[in-house]
Structure formats: C-alpha cells, structure tokens
Amino acid sequence: MAASVQNKIVNKIKSMKRGCIVFPSTFEDIGNVEIVKKSLLRLENKKFLIRLAHGIYLYPKQDKLLGDLHPSIEEIANAIAERDKARIIPTGITALNKLGLSTQIPMNIVFLTDGAPRSIVVGKRIIKFKKTTPKNLATKGEITSLIIQALKEIGKDNVTNEQLEKIKIHLGREKKEIIEHDAKLTSAWISKLLKGN
C-alpha cells in the first residue's frame, strides 16, 4: 500500500517541473496524510526531494556546476500562500530591497497576509506571515504595493531625494489607473508621492 502511494507520488512529482515546491496536501488525492508524509520522508532520504522546512519539500532543479538549486525565500512564501489560497505582500526591508532602495537582506522576511499568521523556519531564515486588514491587500499593482510598504518602513520625514528618484522610475512602469486606485488605499503623504504631487 505505502509503496504504491510512494510510486504515485513520484509519478505526480515527475509530471511537474523541476524546482516545484510540494506539500503533503499536494498529494491528498493519492493517499491518507500520514502515508503521504512517510512517503515524502523516504523520498527525501533517497535524495529525490529536499526538505526545505517542516512539511515543505523541493523537487530540485539541478545545475552541473552548482548541484541542486534552491528557491528564494520569496518563492517559498508564494508557494505557501498559493497552497493556503491566501494573498501576501512583502513588507519593510524586503520591499526596500526589491525596489533597490536598500542593499540590506533581511534574515527574517515578513509578509502581510489574509491567511493564517505563522512563522516558518527555512534554514537559518524565518518567513513570518502577519495577519492584516483586507484594505492593505486591496492594492492592484505589485509595484505600488511594494512602494507603499517601503515608504511605510522609511517613514514620512526620512525619504531621501535619491529614494524618490528610484520610486519615480518604478512608478513609470505601473499603469496610471492602478496608481490612482492604490493611492486611495494608503495614508495621505504616501498617496501624494504616488501621484507625483
């Protein structure tokens, strides 16, 4: 029984692309959760899968020189959000880093979510999901939502001209109607900056 479940899991994983992230729930159509979990542990022992964190596995992409390629912390967070059918947006230093406004790489990466709040340890880093209001997740633009979170982190009186120039360049890649929509969802000073007033 367990062997046939494991074979089905292997076949399902092989039908996916290398680099995909899987969870026990990915295979809920194959067998009961305990048998699935044991099968995934066996596949990790056989080096077919890599365990990224508790209950999170990777079917790794492979490189001749670098060996197994690991996903970014953000890719792992996005896979968790997709599994949980939750929305997430990066905050603080992560948003600053993505926009090129800071070179600091956060050890703990924090996302606002409408899913369950939790912390997940991945190697030496921690992904934190913080529950937030629907309003914070109502932004339509990926760029504008990052800019809003980055500006909140910097603070109203600390924004430099250099940062404003970079933000302007990013906003140039966002549709005007999206900027208009998202500007209504944030504080007055950030809204003003988004609209370029």
Query: Strand, coil or helix: what is 61?
Result: strand
Scan for tokens 């980055």, then name that residue: 150
Residue 64 shares a structural domain with residue 147: no
**CA pair distance 58, 76, nearest whole angstrom:** 9
Please name the amino acid found at residue 196.
G
pLDDT for the residue numbered 2: 61
Residue 77 shares a structural domain with residue 149: yes
pLDDT for the residue numbered 106: 79
pLDDT for the residue numbered 1: 56
Q: How many CA atoms lie within 13 A of 128 on its CB side?
A: 11
Residue 41 shares a structural domain with residue 91: no
Written as six digits, the tokens of 174 are 């966002």
pLDDT for the residue numbered 38: 94
CA 108, 109, 113 angle in degrees (round to 5)? 135
Last residue of a domain, one of 69, 98, 120: 69
Which residue ranges in the chain fall short of pLDDT 70?
1-3, 197
Residue 10 shares a structural domain with residue 100: no
Which pLDDT tens digit goes with each residue over 38-90? 999 999 999 999 999 999 999 999 888 988 899 999 999 999 999 999 999 99
Scan for tokens 């990915």, then name that residue: 26
Domain count, the chain: 2
Q: What is each CA distance from 144 to 82, 117, 164, 175, 187, in whole angstroms?
A: 21, 24, 13, 10, 13
pLDDT for the residue numbered 5: 87
pLDDT for the residue numbered 105: 79
Last residue of a domain, one of 41, 69, 97: 69
**Dihedral pair phi/psi, residue 32, rounded to 5°:** -70, 155
Residue 126 shares a structural domain with residue 97: yes
- Report yes or no: 57 and 45 within 8 Å, Cβ to Cβ: no
